[in-house]
Amino acid sequence: MNSNDRESRHIGIRIERTADDVYTYASDPAHLPAWALGLGETIERTGDGRWVAESSPMGRVVVDFAPRNPWGVLDHDVTLPSGETVYNPVRVIADGKAACEVVFTLRRQEGMSDAEFERDAGMVVADLERLKGLLESA
């Protein structure tokens, strides 16, 4: 595939907890360092209500989340040190009364090589597996 082609990949994981439990935990940005390692080891809320990760692997990033909602939408924008903003669609989808699926839509960024896209997909899988482990062991 040409690295300039736009491509999306839906990466999902089933979690044996209610959609409400998973959404409540995952929608709290303070919990991100526990499961979304790509955003860094710490995240703090600034005075203007934005969330900033100073120590992300990409450098200082600003993360803006969709407002809490009843539909399981966890979308967020990550503004990189370059000023570029990457939109990340994420959904928590109920699967019966006691389980759900979390689906992250990974989008290939312009100029991203196949190897870079696969590396990012692997990081998303690892993050979702950490989220599953945290929530299923709680």
- Amino acid code (one letter) for 116: E
What is the per-residue pLDDT across 10-64, written as a single tens digit (0 to 9) for each?
Answer: 999 999 999 999 999 999 999 999 999 888 788 999 888 889 988 777 788 899 9
Q: Is residue 1 part of a domain?
A: no
Q: Is residue 3 part of a domain?
A: no
Look over the chain and give the mean of its residue pLDDT values, rounded to a whole number.
91
Q: Is residue 53 part of a domain?
A: yes
Q: Is residue 95 part of a domain?
A: yes
Which is it for strands 100-107 and 76-79: parallel, antiparallel or unpaired?
unpaired
Q: Is residue 108 part of a domain?
A: yes
| pTM score of the predicted model | 0.90
Q: Which domain holds residue 69?
A: 8-137
What is the rounded distance in angstroms from the CA atom of residue 91 to the CA atom of residue 22? 10
Q: Is residue 92 part of a domain?
A: yes
Q: Is residue 79 part of a domain?
A: yes
What is the rounded distance in angstroms from the CA atom of residue 15 to the CA atom of residue 131? 8
Domain count, the chain: 1
CATH code: domain of residue 52: 3.30.530.20
Q: Is residue 89 part of a domain?
A: yes
